[in-house]
Amino acid sequence: MPAYMIVTREGPIADQEAMDIYSAMNRANAATFVAHYGIRPLAVYGAQQLLEGEGADGAIILEFPDAAKARAWYDSPEYQAALPYRMKAAPYRVLLVEGL
C-alpha cells in the first residue's frame, strides 16, 4: 500500500545557506532516490488554501510504494547527510502516513 511523507515548514527559513546546501544535496541524489526508493513528489511548496487550523510556511507531499521504502529513504545515508542542514535552516514537521 502506498505511503506518503508530509513535510511542513513551520516557520520562515532562518539560514538560507544551510537550506541551499540541503537542496543541492537532495538534487544531486534525486535519481538515486527515485530508483531505489520509488519516491514521487506530489506537491512541493505549491499554493495553499488554509481551510482549518494553523497554516504552514510551506508543504511537501512525497509518495512512496510503501512505508518501508519511505523509512528506508529517510534513514538512508544520503538523506541523513543532508538532514542536519534542513534542521538548521528552518523548523519542520514530518509525518509518514500509510495510504489505503
Q: pLDDT tens digits for 57-89?
A: 999 999 999 999 999 999 999 999 999 999 999
The range of the structural domain enclosing residue 59 comes to: 3-98
Please count the structural domains in the chain: 1
CATH number at residue 34: 3.30.70.100
Other CB atoms within a 10 A radius of the CB of residue 74 amount to 16
Query: For residue range 9-51, what is the model confidence (pLDDT) as tens digits?
Result: 999 999 999 999 999 999 999 999 999 999 999 999 999 999 9
Model pTM above 0.85: yes
Task: Encode burial over 79-92: b for 16+ CB neighbours within 10 A, e otherwise.
Answer: beebbebbeebbeb
